[in-house]
Structure 1
Amino acid sequence: MKRIVLIFALLAAFTSCKKTNPNYQQEASNPKFLERAQNMLTESIIHDIFAPPVSSRIYMYASVAGYEGAIHADKRFRSFVGQLNGFEKVAQPEAGLEYCYPLVSTRAFLSVGKKLTFAQELYVEFDKQIEADFRKTGMPDEVYERSVALGDSIAASVMRWAAKDNYKQTRGFRFTVTNLPGTWTPTPPAYMDAVEPYWTKVRPVALDSSAQFRAPEPSKFDLTKGSPYYKEVMDSYETVKNLTNEQRDIANFWDCNPFKMNITGHAMFATKKMSPGGHWLGIVAQISRQYNKTYVETAEALALTSLAIFDGFISCWDEKYRSIRIRPETVINASIDKTWIPVLQTPPFPEYTSGHSTISRAAAEVLTKVYGDNVAFNDSTEVPYGLPPRKFTSFIQASDEASVSRLYGGIHFRPALDEGAKQGAKVGQWLLANVKTRK
């Protein structure tokens, strides 16, 4: 009997050894695991129709969690703990135990993402497949379970940090339209309420305050012919009337409207797309793949870019709801040409400064630092929406095109683009000067 038991024990040990792959750490370190998690989160955000600032918050917390899980695999990197506002503690691996840190990272990223979105059913099959793919690396069961547990613990740490950012306190408040001359009012076709009027109350991650890089006051509202403001209005008006095909393509490529309302007869339906932040994080994934970056380097780029975008929205929204500037569509239809229609649908919040200009430049500053200047790339982020890739010679060039797309689209005046880009540059540079990822 003892001999039979011994034989079974040896068979079990032999089977277990065969399943374990000595190179599983290398196979599990493929950045595609994190890229898949990023794509899944984007799909969930699109499904739930989060506004651009809210989307940036979701991406940021998930990316920070992913980064904190990844850095234990590479001693060159340092934690965000003590560097980001209010982020004072995060779960750590237990000394002397083996972990698969790409799994820890991916698990932490997804755990936070799922907690901050609603469409949980979207993750069911995805979770099964990514678990199966991690297990296919030949990872020992105890390492798998331990890594999952640490990923969940890191996610819990990040969620405790997120719970104190004042986001919940800003829910349920609406903006009161004043109807004062030159101020924002809801725009067609949906005439939606103003989006996130209290976003400046949300805690920034690196900025001292939402007003740290306050934009200069916009031109005085004055429709007298020859006034600075009148010239801005006519610039937008004439630009849209005389668009080239290339300019129209640029406007559509950078549209990034999470909720475009379409009207056909008496029927109304929405078209959903990724947000501006989602577009830039998609670029990060493409560049990381193009330059064969490691898992940890990819996590670093995603985290830094998401931090810049998040603070960029806070800085921009601070000005939007200070100046409460009227949109081109409203003033042109009322005072210049009632038949004029912008190329893009006007988003439901004030005009000055441009959100896309601000966050695009903030992201470009970070990516230029991480990957270098004059990095040529093909941006295929919008291919799933039927738009061909566009070629760029640098991140700054891409951000400049994203910015001017708002003029071509007829949804901004030129000063909102210029000042938004300046604002974004300051946000990105401040982040890089005050938050370090390398030891």
Structure 2
Amino acid sequence: MRKHIRVIILLNLIFISCKEKKASINITTNHIHNTVDQLTKIMIHDVFSPPVASRIYVYPNIAAYEVLSYNNKSYKTLSKQLNEFKTLPKIKLNNTLNKKLAALIAYMEVSEELVFSKQKLITYKDSLYSNWININKDEFNEAKMFGKEVANHVKLWMNDDKYIETRNMPIHNVLTKDPFSWVPTPPAFMPGIEPHWNKIRPLIMKSADQFKPEKPPTPSFEKSSDFYKELIGVYNIGNKIIKEGNTSEKLNIAKFWDCNPYVSVNKGHFMFAEKKITPGAHWIGICKIACKESNSSFEKTIYAYTKTAIAINDAFISCWDEKYRSNLVRPETLINNYIDDNWLPLLQTPPFPEYTSGHSVVSGAASEILTKIFGDNFKFDDTTELPYGLGVRTFSSFRDAANEAALSRFYGGIHYMSAVKLGLEQGKKIGHYINNSVTFKNK
């Protein structure tokens, strides 16, 4: 009788133990994709400039990557590889730590510090947190503690990159009699954005001018000069595309890669902004597509996002350094003043100097990173612009997409061909340099 009682008690204890054992919080790649998408939506809402948007993408990804790479046999920490990024303090980790969860928490904790609409991100974050607490409170708290510790380490480093100081620097001076110097363009005539972006600390590059491109053709109104030929080239391609109408493939390309968060729309007495993603956001979207197409693991997905974001970040610093050094006038200004005052570019001219093309530099850099990660001839359907009313374009490789993105600026009437070609080369050099200078995977 006593033996039976002992068996029953033992069975009850086993039953209670099993009943009290809580499920683990399952974090998938969709969690990180959805969180990146949420950050993109907030950036569009807040209308961040392309350079600032690149900064907003990169630091949360670095935080997530550092969580995963901590004591990781496959992935190597970026400390002492990124400029002024110190090693994380020694943290004792339990075997039960959910690193994927901690990485996602670190991503959101850093993101929150970078946007204006913090409450939108906090609401999104809190909805996830309450769900995870209900699944396994102990596991969540452990991951949150580690994730926040890494996030705080990254934020301290982030806040020392000179961004805060540039907020108080003077606007770009446009008082000039030189017809070839940049001036604000219609319809909003905005001052040049981020004229001091070259003072932001690069992540990999040694300096903002490390990949300084060769000078553009010497500005001239001489019809035999290379510059004038490029100017007329912009004018002629715009007129040709307009004649072709909506059937023009070049028009489709220009619209697909517009990615201008500063488009102003005039209707009667009203002017309002038409919100769009930035060039960096488009390439972050392509990274997402590549990760999904290749069924990348959570770790590889974070790695791909991080490396791509680093390339985009440094590409903008390099490009903006050249823009405000050469300070070259936009085609629209010269064509309206000296050739045809009724001419309009197919795309609205962004508010900053012309040389080099930001799309070209960023696309060149990002495409080299993604090619290194996923291989050449990686065919994909680019669905990034679907949420913004544009269609789908198919590319045979990342470099194929970069070439088209660069050319789109010439078709759109906002860049000379030199800015496109030399900008693409500038970006490729940055991409190659990052591929050869940073070790993400342990041997």
Matched, 1:257 2:260: yes
1:3 aligned partner: none
Choose 207-216 or 174-183, whichever is displaced more: 174-183
Task: Please tell me whether the aligned partners of residues 112 and 122 of structure 2 are also in contact (alpha carbons under 8 angstroms).
Answer: no
Matched, 1:326 2:322: no
Task: Please tell me whether the aligned partners of residues 319 and 352 of structure 1 are also in contact (alpha carbons under 8 angstroms).
Answer: yes
Task: Please tell me whether the aligned partners of residues 103 and 134 of structure 1 are also in contact (alpha carbons under 8 angstroms).
Answer: no
Q: Kindly provide the amino acid, as one letter, of the partner of residue 333 in structure 1.
A: N
Matched, 1:375 2:372: no
SS in 2 for 1:388: coil
SS in 2 for 1:331: helix
String of CA shifts for 1:84-141, please: whole Å, max 9, x gaps.
00101335642334211111111111111110111022124422332355457x4x32
1:14 aligned partner: 16
Partners of 2:46 and 2:393 lie apart in 1 by 27
Cα deviation for residue 349 of structure 1 reads 0.4
2:164 aligned partner: 168
Cα deviation for residue 150 of structure 1 reads 1.1
- Percent identity of the aligned residues? 39
Q: Kindly provide the amino acid, as one letter, of the partner of residue 362 in structure 2.
A: I
Match of 1:395 among 380, 398, 412: 398
Q: Which runs of 5+ in 2 are unaligned?
A: 1-8
Following superposition of structure 1 onto structure 2, how do residues 203-242 of structure 1 map, counting pairs within 5 Å?
A: 203-242=201-240
Following superposition of structure 1 onto structure 2, how do residues 72-151 of structure 1 map, counting pairs within 5 Å?
A: 72=70, 75-90=73-88, 93-132=91-130, 134=132, 138=135, 140-151=136-147
Cα deviation for residue 283 of structure 1 reads 1.0
String of CA shifts for 1:140-180, please: whole Å, max 9, x gaps.
32121010111111111111111111111111320001322
1:71 aligned partner: 69
String of CA shifts for 1:25-51, please: whole Å, max 9, x gaps.
6x32x1111111101111111111111
Match of 2:432 among 425, 429, 434: 429
1:185 aligned partner: 183
Matched, 1:363 2:366: yes
2:29 aligned partner: 31
2:6 aligned partner: none
Q: TM-score, normalised by structure 2?
A: 0.92
Partners of 2:218 and 2:179 lie apart in 1 by 11
Partners of 2:254 and 2:32 lie apart in 1 by 30
Cα deviation for residue 12 of structure 1 reads 13
SS in 2 for 1:115: coil
Stretches (4+) displaced over 6 A: 10-13
Q: TM-score, normalised by structure 1?
A: 0.93
- When residues 338 and 84 of structure 1 are mapped into structure 2, their CA distance, relative to the original with a 3 A threshold, is same
- When residues 437 and 57 of structure 1 are mapped into structure 2, their CA distance, relative to the original with a 3 A threshold, is same
String of CA shifts for 1:191-216, please: whole Å, max 9, x gaps.
00101001001110000101111111
Q: Kindly provide the amino acid, as one letter, of the partner of residue 83 in structure 1.
A: Q
Q: Kindly provide the amino acid, as one letter, of the partner of residue 146 in structure 1.
A: E
SS in 2 for 1:242: helix
Q: Kindly provide the amino acid, as one letter, of the partner of residue 419 in structure 1.
A: L
Cα deviation for residue 404 of structure 1 reads 0.4
Task: Please tell me whether the aligned partners of residues 183 and 325 of structure 1 are also in contact (alpha carbons under 8 angstroms).
Answer: yes
Partners of 2:311 and 2:90 lie apart in 1 by 25
Cα deviation for residue 263 of structure 1 reads 0.3
Partners of 1:33 and 1:215 lie apart in 2 by 39
Partners of 2:17 and 2:304 lie apart in 1 by 40
Choose 283-292 or 320-329, whichever is displaced more: 283-292
Choose 219-228 or 360-369, whichever is displaced more: 219-228
Task: Please tell me whether the aligned partners of residues 77 and 437 of structure 1 are also in contact (alpha carbons under 8 angstroms).
Answer: yes
Task: Please tell me whether the aligned partners of residues 353 and 417 of structure 1 are also in contact (alpha carbons under 8 angstroms).
Answer: yes
Cα deviation for residue 73 of structure 1 reads 8.3
Following superposition of structure 1 onto structure 2, how do residues 332-351 of structure 1 map, counting pairs within 5 Å?
A: 332-351=335-354
Match of 2:153 among 154, 157, 162: 157
Cα deviation for residue 79 of structure 1 reads 0.7
Partners of 1:212 and 1:391 lie apart in 2 by 34
Cα deviation for residue 75 of structure 1 reads 2.2
Partners of 1:329 and 1:301 lie apart in 2 by 38
Partners of 2:29 and 2:202 lie apart in 1 by 28
Alignment: residue pair count: 425
Q: Kindly provide the amino acid, as one letter, of the partner of residue 29 in structure 2.
A: P
Partners of 1:239 and 1:13 lie apart in 2 by 76
Cα deviation for residue 364 of structure 1 reads 0.2
Following superposition of structure 1 onto structure 2, how do residues 261-340 of structure 1 map, counting pairs within 5 Å?
A: 261-340=264-343
Cα deviation for residue 13 of structure 1 reads 9.0
SS in 1 for 2:348: coil
Partners of 1:273 and 1:11 lie apart in 2 by 59
SS in 1 for 2:265: strand
Q: Kindly provide the amino acid, as one letter, of the partner of residue 195 in structure 2.
A: P
Structure 1 vs Structure 2 CA RMSD = 1.9
